[in-house]
Chains A and B, each alone.
Chain A
Amino acid sequence: RKEVEQDPGPFNVPEGATVAFNCTYSNSASQSFFWYRQDCRKEPKLLMSVYSSGNEDGRFTAQLNRASQYISLLIRDSKLSDSATYLCVGGEAGYALNFGKGTSLLVTP
């Protein structure tokens, strides 16, 4: 399967900090991109889709750079509850989504 690569971390940041994750994808045919969040011993949950023009949902901003084949997630004003593993995901039409191995975030008081 085509790979989605991301830094496993862990990223340890203090509450209130801004943190950014990047990931790269090798399949140039990928058309859809997402960020998922997975809490310990729980299922992955969709955090947000990633659009070419960039999109924002509250404290979260996602960006896509097709030319360089990378996706980013920016979290502003980190909360303790943001501690989780963040999965970068790419999808090619007609195929199952390709999940990255995840980046671990720990927000500390």
Chain B
Amino acid sequence: ETGVTQTPRHLVMGMTNKKSLKCEQHLGHNAMYWYKQSAKKPLELMFVYNFKEQTENNSVPSRFSPECPNSSHLFLHLHTLQPEDSALYLCASSPGLTSGMSSYEQYFGPGTRLTVT
């Protein structure tokens, strides 16, 4: 399945490094999401973009910086991370978020497994 792709699949970085995670969706969707999932923990919604505009930021530390240049691409820029930021970072997309219309199912990418040393 190649509807939502993420790169890299695995990343090891030091606390002083700067890196970026990339997500691309090929489904013609207009909403994209970043989630964090720590080991054996539930999904945590981080950011939501709808038609390239950020609509939700769930109190995410500023060391995580999202970027959505167009409806097909989503980035998560990382800098000065902490070891507790080690987790699986999942990107998802859906057709769009529109008031008055039922929510659509989200499709997830395979995730980037991040280890901060």
Contact = CB atoms under 8 A, between A and B. Distances in A.
Contacts of B66: none
A92 B99 CA distance: 9
Nearest to B48: A96
Contacts of B106: 46, 96-97
Given A46-B107, A96-B33, A96-B97, A1 B45 contact: yes
Interface residues of B, number: 27
A43 B103 contact: no
Nearest to A43: B108
A97 B43 CA distance: 11
Per DSSP, are chain A's interface residues mostly helix, strand or loop, or mixed? loop
A63 to B, nearest CB: 18
Contact of B104 (A32, A100, A101): A32
Interface residues of A, number: 23
Contacts, number: 64
A99 B103 contact: no
B56 A43 contact: no
Contact of A43 (B31, B48, B109): B109
Contacts of B48: 96
Interface string A60-101: 000000000000000000000000000100011111110111
Contact of A41 (B33, B88, B97, B104): B88
A44 B45 CA distance: 13
B90 interface: yes
B84 interface: no
B42 interface: yes
A96 B56 contact: yes
Interface in B48-98: 48, 56, 58, 88, 90, 94, 97-98
A59 interface: no
B25 to A, nearest CB: 13
B42 A31 contact: no
A91 B110 contact: no
Interface of B: 31, 33, 42-43, 45, 48, 56, 58, 88, 90, 94, 97-111, 113
Interface of A: 1, 31-32, 34, 41-46, 49, 87, 91-97, 99-102
